[in-house]
Chains A and B, each alone.
Chain A
Amino acid sequence: GAGVSQSPSNKVTEKGKDVELRCDPISGHTALYWYRQSLGQGLEFLIYFQGNSAPDKSGLPSDRFSAERTGGSVSTLTIQRTQQEDSAVYLCASRWDYGSPLHFGNGTRLTVT
């Protein structure tokens, strides 16, 4: 079946512009995660949605970052007033239940010029 889909796959934006990154999780998956991966680095946790519970936003690096998950499905990560240090690959993952593994998308490569 279809996996986790992220769009766009690549995004180039000018410093100061806002960007929206989209994640379509696997249908029926109850949890959705956003991670950021800078070049040559590991994954940095950003935010986690579980069902209808309040999201865990503890990893968002600043108030320029926000995310929402509409209808328990699609999620959008928004970065306002982008900075060059925001350049990275943004990865989305979803899972079925607490014990099940994460399924990752291939990410959105964001470049801020």
Chain B
Amino acid sequence: DAKTTQPNSMESNEEEPVHLPCNHSTISGTDYIHWYRQLPSQGPEYVIHGLTSNVNNRMASLAIAEDRKSSTLILHRATLRDAAVYYCILRDWAGKSTFGDGTTLTVKP
């Protein structure tokens, strides 16, 4: 299974942009890049996904490197409610989705 590598933790100040990196050097051509986040005592929540092109939605933006070996989740203005564990995962051709340990984002007021 293709794996992803993320920093264990990151900090941000409230109302500042946050860039959460993810490396996936063994990604294959048909793997989708998905991002989820998990608040305490809840199941993970979908944030955004993409294949090759950069993507924007109401929650965040996803920037995908040209070689697709890395991607960055961008929260444009962090709020205290964005404090969570963020997971970058790859969805393979068979639909299997394998999670790593994620990045714990702390947002400081």
Shortest B89–chain A CB gap in Å is 9
Interface string of B92-104 (1 = CB under 8 A from A): 0011111111100
Among A4, A41, A98, which residue has its beta carbon within 8 angstroms of that of B95?
Answer: A98
Q: Are A102 and B101 in contact (CB under 8 A)?
A: no
Query: Which of these binds chain B: A14-22, A43-51, A60-68, A71-79?
Result: A43-51
- Residues of chain A touching chain B, judged by Cβ–Cβ distance below 8 Å, are 4, 31, 33, 35, 41-45, 48, 50, 56, 91, 93, 95, 98-99, 101-107
Sample of 12 further A-B pairs with CB below 8 A, known A45-B96, A56-B94, A104-B43? A42-B99, A43-B87, A45-B98, A48-B95, A93-B44, A98-B91, A99-B49, A101-B34, A101-B46, A102-B44, A105-B43, A107-B43
